[in-house]
Chains A and B, each alone.
Chain A
Amino acid sequence: MNRLFGLSTRGVLVVVPAAFIVAFFLYPIATILWRGLGGGGGEIFLNLAASSRQRDIAWFTIWQAIASTLLTLAVGIPAASVVARLSARRQRLIRALVTVPFVLPTVVVAGAFTEVFAVAGLDDGAFRLRHTVWAVLIAHVFFNYAVVVRAVGSYWAGLDQRVEEAARVLGANSWQTFREVTLPRLQPAVTSAAAIVFLFSFTSFGVVLILGGPRRATIETEIYRQAVTRVDLETAAALAALQLLAVLALVILSTRLERHRPIVGRGARSSRRPATPAWCWGNLIIGLVLLGGPIGVLVERSFSTGGGYAFDHYEALGERARQLPAPATTALWNSVVFAVAATALAVLVGLLASLVVVHGRRGIARIFDLGLTLPLGTSAVTIGFGMLIALNEPPLDLRTNWWIIPIAHALVGVPFVVRTMVPVLRSIDPALHEAAAVLGASPVRARREIDVPIGMRGLLVGAGFAFAVSLGEFGATSFLPRRPENLTAPIALFRLLTTPGDLLRGQAMALSVVLMVLVATAVLVIESGRRDDEGVL
């Protein structure tokens, strides 16, 4: 890095992101581990293991995540096969569209599914979906469809079609060709997509809390119940420690798997015949029903006044409901301000960290790479809970500080910035700098002329994600101090959704639509500036 930056800049590059991660992530995590496993926590941890309720919760957390992953793959891989055969432009369009559900606030989606069940009459009776495992699984498929379609679809599009043709000519029918030739070659993309889906489902919070109903609990919702409802911080810490260890094991396992990925020939893309119309339409319909259905119902309900359609529910957002400390419009405004602050923080920290990951000395770069990905694997609940129990005394007492929410949101956003920036920075061919130097540019000038314009696009994508994530953030925020000026739109939405009453429901739907439009706009704007090969996140 010496060649690229002066000594003092190098110090800032490393220190700022490192300090941020240590103070607001590692320190709270260490506090959880200390209180959950060490001291008196060890005993609680053992009690936890002995409790059959907690064992059931742990088991349910695992199996619902496995089921969610398998279901998502079953629905997503066929869709990916269609996407892989589309023209590059259509692929981009589909990828942008499926990304909208992926970043929608969990509370919005959970509310939408609740409405879908009500509208479709699946609230009760033989085909009841409300408050069942199925509701949770379907919502997880809704969210993670994009992960599989994007990761597997673009990988698939890059595979050399002639290998499949060779198999056909050698006597394999299309199913045999898929099973014996395509699937093994897709394996790296399928494995990494599956790992991400599993992780997201394993740490899913809002969906389980709202759709699973009061009797269904995962480790994640149980942490919330113990910490917020029962104020048993020790048990919550023990659970969070368990969750952390599980996630860590998972991340290590998946990186192991990735390192052992087979070498896969990725030749020039040959022209490929489009999929059969029936296959295309089938997948399109599934995608539309799965992704469009809940969104459509949400929009419809937000305008429905019982007798007809009007803006009544939207107008009601300006008045304070009894369940809320402030009007929903205030919550929306708070959310936008928090999102701007969180995005600024995430971009600053993420950009500096990306530079270290790409240009830093190998050891430091690897530590940064890992350290900055950890918050992505850590559940939002763990982050919020950690900040709740760690940042409550000097020198870091932030409980009453306005910044605690943007900081929590930025922690969730930083990995997105790093994940989008690093590939972009890595893709800059060193030959470009050499070319610029030969053409007479000083190193600094070369950097400004080459890295800044190229990196800007990645930065915008990361910023857009950080913004969207902050707008919809629920898990971490739900642990942070509840004061009127801290009320965010997702928190307000959660309260509206969990209070019975048709009037509030209408308001909840209207608030959901506004949030959804904000998030979708952010995503579609960034997707339009994205390149084809920038991975899952």
Chain B
Amino acid sequence: MLALRGVEVRFGDLRAVADTDLDLAAGEMLALVGPSGCGKSTLLRAIAGLEPLVTGTISLDGDDISAAAPEARPFGLMFQDHALFPHRDVGRNVEFGLRMNEVAPVARRERVGELLELVGLAGYERRAVTTLSGGEAQRVALARALAPAPRVLLLDEPLGSLDRHLRDRLIDELPGVLEATGTAAIHVTHDHDEAFALGDRVGVMHDGRLHQTDRPAEVWAAPRSLVVARILGHTNVIEGPAGIEVWRSDAAVIDPMGDVEATVDRVHFRGVGHDVRLRTADGAGLRFVLPAAPAVGSTVRLRIDPERVIRFD
């Protein structure tokens, strides 16, 4: 449905996004993950029409929309800090896109009520947006973006400003809302856990380029490069004679017969399992999730499951 080919965005001399291809199917949720400054937000803004392309095309159902103004593109955009209209109440915020699309007043009111109910804020129409909590504001922003029934919803770290509890709740609810409205979405985040939780597919960006796009389990299990592996949270990088190996955090079990000897540096209790940092005799740091906590300072032997090791040549 949505297709990007060879897209490039520049800020002066800086190539913020370079040589990027991307495809999005109807109803699909794509999560774009990458460190801050990698160009993921810029890519999103370029899709929305807020940043002009230097080269490349963006097409929707085969029609080139690269030169279309933002208002002419059937997309919705959600910002990290909501960007609600401070001078309009909740109802008139949600109504805005409908009014711009010349929907009749009665139909507008109905649709606003419908969407507020969908995001769990039924009856909030007359509330001033300045009185909303962070989570409520984000739901209003979601309702506002969805009201004109966009083909694609673009989400620019929409959960970044929320506390963990609210984030987890919205991560739970968001797919349901998108499914109910049949909206495809591109979700930009720097948090790989959030990307895994939300994305049907996950795209990994670094230095303005899209390095890999795959199903979450696939990118995690088989990152195409060391850069991608690091962005996805893999920290155990071992340089051996056979090249570079990455040991997934679930690759180790404590086993007196194991090949790797390491001293336990620190242990953090994580509810399900323990986050254990260790150090090998030659000084390399390791980090694994283990079911039981070894004593700090003790030396343990670890067995590494070769199925859970990623190899780069």
- Provide the B145-184 mask, 1 if CB < 8 A to any CB of A, else 0: 1001000001000000000000000000000000000000
- Provide the A160-172 mask, 1 if CB < 8 A to any CB of B, else 0: 1011011111111
- Tell me which of A160, A169, A180, A185 has the highest count of chain B C-beta atoms within 10 A of its own C-beta: A169
Report if A262 contacts B (CB, 8 A): yes
Closest residue to B131 on the A side, CB-wise?
A263
**A181 contacts B71, C-beta separation under 8 Å:** no
**B100 contacts A165, C-beta separation under 8 Å:** no
Say whether, besides A165-B50, A264-B87, A265-B86, A170 and B76 are in contact (CB < 8 Å): yes
Chain A residue numbers with a CB within 8 Å of B194 are: none
A183 to nearest B CB, angstroms? 10
B86 to nearest A CB, angstroms? 4
**A167 contacts B85, C-beta separation under 8 Å:** yes
**A165 contacts B77, C-beta separation under 8 Å:** yes
Report if B298 contacts A (CB, 8 A): no
Closest residue to A180 on the B side, CB-wise?
B96
**B87 contacts A166, C-beta separation under 8 Å:** no
Report if B238 contacts A (CB, 8 A): no
- Provide the B62-106 mask, 1 if CB < 8 A to any CB of A, else 0: 000000011101011101010111110000000011001100000
Chain B residue numbers with a CB within 8 Å of A172 are: 71, 96, 100
Say whether, besides A167-B96, A169-B48, A170-B100, A162 and B148 are in contact (CB < 8 Å): no
- Near B by CB (< 8 A), chain A positions 140-195 give 160, 162-163, 165-173, 176, 180-181, 184-185, 187
Give the CA-CA distance A263 to B70 in the complex, in Å: 27
Contact among B69, B77, B130 with A166 in the assembled complex (CB-CB below 8 Å): B77
Report if B144 contacts A (CB, 8 A): yes
Say whether, besides A162-B81, A263-B130, A267-B81, A171 and B97 are in contact (CB < 8 Å): yes
Chain B residue numbers with a CB within 8 Å of A264 are: 86-87
Chain A residue numbers with a CB within 8 Å of B85 are: 163, 166-167, 181
**A176 contacts B100, C-beta separation under 8 Å:** yes
Give the CA-CA distance A264 to B75 in the complex, in Å: 26
Report if B49 contacts A (CB, 8 A): yes
Give the CA-CA distance A66 to B148 in the complex, in Å: 41
- Provide the A412-438 mask, 1 if CB < 8 A to any CB of B, else 0: 000000000000000000000000000
**A169 contacts B100, C-beta separation under 8 Å:** no
**B50 contacts A170, C-beta separation under 8 Å:** no
Give the CA-CA distance A185 to B96 in the complex, in Å: 15
Q: How many residues of B contact A (CB 8 A)?
A: 29
- Provide the A247-268 mask, 1 if CB < 8 A to any CB of B, else 0: 0000000000000001111011
**A162 contacts B83, C-beta separation under 8 Å:** yes
Say whether, besides A162-B79, A176-B100, A263-B130, A169 and B71 are in contact (CB < 8 Å): yes
Say whether, besides A176-B100, A263-B130, A264-B86, A170 and B144 are in contact (CB < 8 Å): yes
Chain B residue numbers with a CB within 8 Å of A162 are: 79, 81, 83
Closest residue to B86 on the A side, CB-wise?
A265
Contact among B48, B70, B87 with A262 in the assembled complex (CB-CB below 8 Å): B87
Chain B residue numbers with a CB within 8 Å of A181 are: 85
Chain B residue numbers with a CB within 8 Å of A165 are: 45, 48, 50, 70, 77, 79, 83
**B50 contacts A262, C-beta separation under 8 Å:** no
**B49 contacts A185, C-beta separation under 8 Å:** no
Give the CA-CA distance A195 to B150 in the complex, in Å: 42
Chain A residue numbers with a CB within 8 Å of B76 are: 169-170
Chain B residue numbers with a CB within 8 Å of A173 are: 69, 71
Chain A residue numbers with a CB within 8 Å of B101 are: 171
B112 to nearest A CB, angstroms? 13
**B86 contacts A263, C-beta separation under 8 Å:** yes
Chain A residue numbers with a CB within 8 Å of B48 are: 165, 169
Give the CA-CA distance A185 to B48 in the complex, in Å: 23
A514 to nearest B CB, angstroms? 45
How many A-B contacts if CB must be within 8 Å? 81
Give the CA-CA distance A169 to B51 in the complex, in Å: 12
- Tell me which of B45, B70, B73, B154 has the highest count of chain A C-beta atoms within 10 A of its own C-beta: B70
Give the CA-CA distance A171 to B100 in the complex, in Å: 6
B94 to nearest A CB, angstroms? 10
**B87 contacts A171, C-beta separation under 8 Å:** no
B141 to nearest A CB, angstroms? 8
**B81 contacts A169, C-beta separation under 8 Å:** no
Chain B residue numbers with a CB within 8 Å of A184 are: 87
B84 to nearest A CB, angstroms? 8
**A160 contacts B83, C-beta separation under 8 Å:** yes
**A168 contacts B96, C-beta separation under 8 Å:** no
Give the CA-CA distance A176 to B102 in the complex, in Å: 13
Give the CA-CA distance A165 to B81 in the complex, in Å: 13
Contact among B73, B83, B100 with A163 in the assembled complex (CB-CB below 8 Å): B83
Give the CA-CA distance A268 to B82 in the complex, in Å: 13
Say whether, besides A162-B81, A263-B130, A169 and B86 are in contact (CB < 8 Å): no
- Near B by CB (< 8 A), chain A positions 309-352 give none
**B87 contacts A170, C-beta separation under 8 Å:** no
Chain B residue numbers with a CB within 8 Å of A167 are: 85, 96, 100
B3 to nearest A CB, angstroms? 19
Closest residue to A173 on the B side, CB-wise?
B71
**B71 contacts A171, C-beta separation under 8 Å:** yes
Give the CA-CA distance A313 to B258 in the complex, in Å: 101
**B70 contacts A168, C-beta separation under 8 Å:** yes
B63 to nearest A CB, angstroms? 17
Chain A residue numbers with a CB within 8 Å of B11 are: 271
Give the CA-CA distance A13 to B85 in the complex, in Å: 45
Give the CA-CA distance A265 to B144 in the complex, in Å: 17
Give the CA-CA distance A166 to B86 in the complex, in Å: 12
Closest residue to B130 on the A side, CB-wise?
A263
Say whether, besides A172-B100, A262-B86, A262-B87, A166 and B79 are in contact (CB < 8 Å): yes
Give the CA-CA distance A169 to B72 in the complex, in Å: 8
**A185 contacts B86, C-beta separation under 8 Å:** yes
A209 to nearest B CB, angstroms? 42
Give the CA-CA distance A271 to B81 in the complex, in Å: 15
Chain B residue numbers with a CB within 8 Å of A267 are: 81, 83
Give the CA-CA distance A163 to B78 in the complex, in Å: 11
Give the CA-CA distance A185 to B79 in the complex, in Å: 19
A262 to nearest B CB, angstroms? 5
Chain A residue numbers with a CB within 8 Å of B70 are: 165, 168-169
Say whether, besides A162-B79, A162-B81, A170 and B148 are in contact (CB < 8 Å): yes
Chain A residue numbers with a CB within 8 Å of B100 are: 167, 170-172, 176
- Please list the residues of chain A having a beta carbon within 8 angstroms of any beta carbon in chain B: 160, 162-163, 165-173, 176, 180-181, 184-185, 187, 262-265, 267-268, 271
Given pairs A168-B69, A170-B148, A263-B128, 15 additional interface contacts (CB within 8 A): A162-B83, A165-B79, A166-B79, A166-B84, A169-B77, A169-B145, A169-B154, A170-B71, A172-B96, A173-B69, A181-B85, A184-B87, A185-B86, A262-B86, A271-B11
Q: List 10 A-B contacts (CB under 8 A).
A: A162-B81, A167-B85, A168-B70, A170-B76, A170-B97, A172-B100, A173-B71, A180-B96, A185-B87, A265-B86
Give 7 closest A-B pairs by Cβ, nearest first: A170-B97, A171-B100, A168-B70, A265-B86, A162-B83, A169-B77, A166-B83
